[in-house]
A = this chain, B = another copy of it.
């Protein structure tokens, strides 16, 4: 995975952006937390561990830059903060999420589920699709188990008190 950083650095260089320690540290943090849907604040705190002198504004600027370079995707789950996901390398963007309304866990699902829907949209609505976001809100399997368990113990307690 070391090459991943190198390739991103190369990409910066090719587009004549400067290579700074702050940018490198930010990319490192994103790589080390690839599954975590970090907010700018999250990234800031993590980068600060490596490079304590970094400013929050720089983190925002770097994330914005990486978004423009299509290295990260800026996503929004409606909770008031933007989150930044590293794109799967080479592959398509990753905009399909399962957000658990119980515990807040965010899972990802396979990318090709929408191919058919996209075709219909392009044809029926004469709409040239460039990108898409699909988010399901619901209850993840862990919380389904938890809820079931709680219901059972509540039932047991009710038996005791009656």
Which of A15-23, A41-49, A139-147 forms part of the interface with chain B?
Answer: A139-147
Q: Considering only CB atoms and an 8 Å cut-off, how many residues of chain A contact the other chain?
A: 35
Asked if A76 CB lies within 8 Å of chain B CBs, one says yes
Please, which residues of chain B bring their CB within 8 A of the CB of A132?
Answer: 134-137
Instruction: Kindly report how many copies of this chain are found in the complex they form together.
Output: 2
Asked if A55 CB lies within 8 Å of chain B CBs, one says no
Option from B76, B131, B140 in Cβ contact (under 8 Å) with A127? B140
Docked pose: A121 CA to B136 CA in angstroms? 9
Which residue of chain B is the closest to A141 with respect to CB atoms? B126
Residue-wise interface mask of A (116-139) relative to B, using a CB-CB cutoff of 8 A (1 in contact, 0 not): 111011001111111111111111
> Given known contacts A78-B76, A132-B135, is B101 in contact with A121 (CB within 8 Å)?
no
Query: Are the CB atoms of A101 and B130 closer together than 8 Å?
Result: yes
Query: Are the CB atoms of B126 and A136 closer together than 8 Å?
Result: no
Docked pose: A41 CA to B110 CA in angstroms? 37
Please, which residues of chain B bring their CB within 8 A of the CB of A133?
Answer: 133-135, 137
19 A-B pairs with C-beta separation under 8 A? A76-B78, A98-B121, A98-B127, A107-B127, A109-B124, A113-B121, A114-B117, A117-B117, A117-B134, A118-B136, A125-B141, A129-B136, A129-B137, A130-B137, A130-B138, A132-B136, A132-B137, A133-B134, A134-B134
